[in-house]
């Protein structure tokens, strides 16, 4: 799978989904092109999916927020007879490298989290209308919806058959959402996850696997009426016009580097380092909401969020040996603060301002979930302010220049906290990054809060615990070089395990459990011969032969 994976698409290029809009209700129809796989060697039969199908879904969910804010209910349904969705394509999983399987599962979960939260955050509620077989990842698509409606007929069922069929787990959130979200009794969940044929009709509702079971003759009318009720409640009396999300300004270079309008990605393949440099705004913020809406996707904070998100996904899937990601920034800190202030001053009254803030929350979580060593360098000329300062608290380590540097005319390295560092951008554990950072010393959060708006140079940043180390002109270059060389000498497997453990202290949530279990269980099981070996279940699926298992428990 050496093909470059591109996460940018638009409705004119969709092959697997179509969307029909009717007032405040949208119908999201899954009609997968069997011959439209992202790679060769498999067919996407029975509405099974690969990463390409999910890239389109992620694009739809993002565009729904920005281009169609009038939508209050989204009905997810199948465009095929007798099948809702058969889940992730087994031939694809059986043939994909381990890293692709891991990143695929992570991306699908991030996409599900986005539409799962869209009801609470944006008033866009997803409703699953299940007709036909709904199995594995197909049921996980439905589980992420606010409600699941199922028709009562002989061909419709919900199932998580990974354990009996494939020797793996429903690891993109299936098990966790069954128990934590739908609160299915654990013994019934054990039965449910151990059978191939799934559960139908009244039993599915009695076991809390779906919300409603409706006679086939009444199903379509029921779903239409319920969607209208949900949409009217969510968007009553609101006449909202969206903005268009155009293509990103992006250039690929021969050496693997990328250039966007606000982000530069430099790839040092010899040493396994990717450096992301963020450019601050060069113009003041809009003077009012009319100007903001006129700018649309060219508003600096939205443009940056989209470009940074694309860069992170590119590095995850296409630059697997870039084990260290370095974050830098350059720009005017005052302009960054002004743009952020404008956005949050209008968040409560303006849907677009609110959506840009929510988009930043998702992008920062994407940073948290990226399985690379993350480091930030606060250099002279940097602009780590507010939302950009969140990157300093997301990374594994941060280094800051201390004082004047010879022949460096840029402004002295400093960072600035804003009110937005203390609430709007929680991690998956529902704590802010500063609360997570100072889990053992919560008084440090209050001490940092007292410095909101101050330009904090190295001495103050170290005193407040906001950076890991600060070095002067004599030591800076050597200390950063030694760290990067050391990081590159460690086992990437050991680093991934260490980093994943250290990034999420504190309380567990459904989201941390989903990603924690995905990392610890699904990724490990995907490497075991019972699943992917020559006689493993994934390799033998569809041949009529059962998998051959090593019976030892470890």
Q: Which residues of the chain have pLDDT under 70?
A: 1-2, 237, 519-520, 522
Per-residue confidence (pLDDT) for residue 519, from 0 to 100: 65
Beta-bridge partner residues of 151: 214
**22 vs 27, 225, 485, 497, CA distance in Å?**
8, 13, 57, 47
- Sequence-ordered list of residues with C-beta below 8 angstroms from that of 487, at least 6 positions apart, any chain: 323, 324, 373, 375, 495
Token output for 179 = 């128990």
Alpha-carbon span 331 to 382, nearest angstrom: 6
Instruction: Please provide the CATH number assigned to the domain covering 11-233.
Output: 3.90.226.10
Alpha-carbon span 73 to 235, nearest angstrom: 9
Query: Among the CATH numbers 3.90.226.10, 3.10.450.50, 3.40.50.720, 3.20.20.120, which is that of 253-498?
Result: 3.90.226.10
Q: Name the H helices within 70-215.
A: 90-95, 98-116, 118-122, 137-143, 162-166, 174-176, 186-192, 201-206
Domain boundaries, the chain: 11-233, 253-498
HSE-CB of 12 using CA atoms within 13 angstroms: 3
Per-residue confidence (pLDDT) for residue 387, from 0 to 100: 98
Per-residue confidence (pLDDT) for residue 170, from 0 to 100: 83
Per-residue confidence (pLDDT) for residue 162, from 0 to 100: 92
In this chain, the answer to whether the domains covering 11-233 and 253-498 adopt an identical fold is yes
pLDDT in tens, 421-446: 999 999 999 999 999 999 999 999 99
Residue 167 backbone zone (phi > 0: left; psi -120 to 50: alpha; other: beta) = left
pLDDT in tens, 346-360: 999 999 999 999 999
Per-residue confidence (pLDDT) for residue 238, from 0 to 100: 72
Token output for 476 = 């800076």
Per-residue confidence (pLDDT) for residue 292, from 0 to 100: 98
- Residue % of the chain over a pLDDT of 70: 99
Per-residue confidence (pLDDT) for residue 173, from 0 to 100: 86
- Strands 250-252 and 157-159 come out as unpaired
Per-residue confidence (pLDDT) for residue 94, from 0 to 100: 87
Token pair 């849907």 is at which residue? Answer: 351
């Amino acid at each position: 799978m050496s093909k470059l994976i591109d996460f940018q698409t638009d409705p004119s290029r969709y092959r697997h989904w179509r969307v029909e809009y009717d007032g405040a209700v949208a119908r999201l129809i899954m009609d997968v092109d069997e011959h439209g796989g992202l790679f060769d060697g498999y067919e996407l039969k029975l509405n099974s999916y690969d990463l390409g199908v999910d890239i389109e879904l992620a694009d739809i969910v993002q565009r729904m927020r920005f281009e169609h804010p009038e939508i209050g209910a989204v009905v997810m349904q199948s465009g095929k007879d007798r099948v809702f969705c058969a889940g992730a394509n087994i031939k694809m999983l059986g043939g994909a490298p381990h890293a692709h399987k891991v990143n695929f599962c992570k991306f699908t979960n991030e996409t599900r989290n986005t539409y799962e939260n869209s009801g609470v955050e944006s008033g866009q509620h997803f409703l699953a209308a299940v007709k036909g077989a709904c199995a594995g990842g197909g049921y996980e698509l439905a589980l992420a919806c606010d409600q699941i409606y199922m028709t009562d007929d002989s061909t419709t069922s919900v199932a998580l058959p990974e354990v009996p069929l494939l020797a793996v787990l429903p690891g993109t959130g299936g098990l966790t959402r069954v128990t934590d979200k739908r609160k299915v009794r654990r013994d019934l969940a054990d039965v449910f996850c151990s059978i191939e044929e799934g559960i139908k009709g009244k039993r599915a509702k009695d076991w809390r696997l779906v919300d409603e079971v409706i006679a086939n003759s009444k199903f379509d009318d029921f779903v239409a009426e319920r969607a209208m009720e949900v949409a009217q409640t969510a968007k009553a009396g609101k006449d909202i016009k969206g903005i268009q999300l155009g293509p990103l300004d992006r250039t690929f270079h021969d050496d693997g580097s990328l250039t966007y309008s606000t982000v530069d990605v430099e790839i040092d393949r010899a040493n396994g380092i990717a450096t992301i440099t963020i450019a601050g705004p060069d113009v003041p913020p809009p003077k009012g909401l009319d100007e903001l809406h006129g700018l649309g996707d060219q508003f600096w904070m939205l443009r940056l969020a989209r470009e940074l998100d694309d860069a992170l996904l590119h590095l995850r899937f296409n630059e697997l040996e870039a084990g260290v990601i370095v974050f830098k920034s350059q720009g005017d800190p005052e302009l960054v603060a002004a743009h952020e202030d404008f956005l949050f001053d209008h968040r409560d009254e303006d849907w677009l301002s609110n959506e840009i803030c929510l988009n930043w929350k998702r992008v920062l979580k994407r940073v948290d979930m990226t399985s690379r060593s993350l480091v930030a360098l606060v250099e002279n000329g940097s602009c780590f302010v507010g939302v950009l300062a969140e990157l300093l608290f997301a990374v594994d380590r941060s280094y800051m220049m201390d004082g004047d540097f010879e022949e460096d005319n840029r402004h002295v390295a400093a960072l600035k906290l804003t009110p937005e560092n203390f609430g709007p951008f929680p991690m998956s554990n529902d704590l802010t990054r500063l609360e997570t950072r100072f889990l053992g010393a919560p008084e440090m959060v209050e001490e940092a809060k007292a410095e909101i708006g101050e330009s904090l140079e190295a001495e103050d940043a170290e005193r407040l615990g906001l950076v890991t180390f600060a070095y002067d002109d004599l030591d800076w270059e050597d200390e950063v070089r030694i760290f990067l060389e050391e990081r590159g000498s460690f086992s990437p497997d050991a680093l991934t395990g260490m980093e994943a453990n250290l990034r999420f202290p504190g309380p567990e949530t459904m989201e941390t459990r989903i990603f924690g279990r995905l990392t610890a269980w699904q990724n490990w099981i995907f490497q075991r011969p019972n699943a992917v070996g020559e006689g493993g279940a994934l390799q033998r699926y569809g041949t009529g032969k059962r998998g051959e298992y090593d019976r030892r428990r470890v």
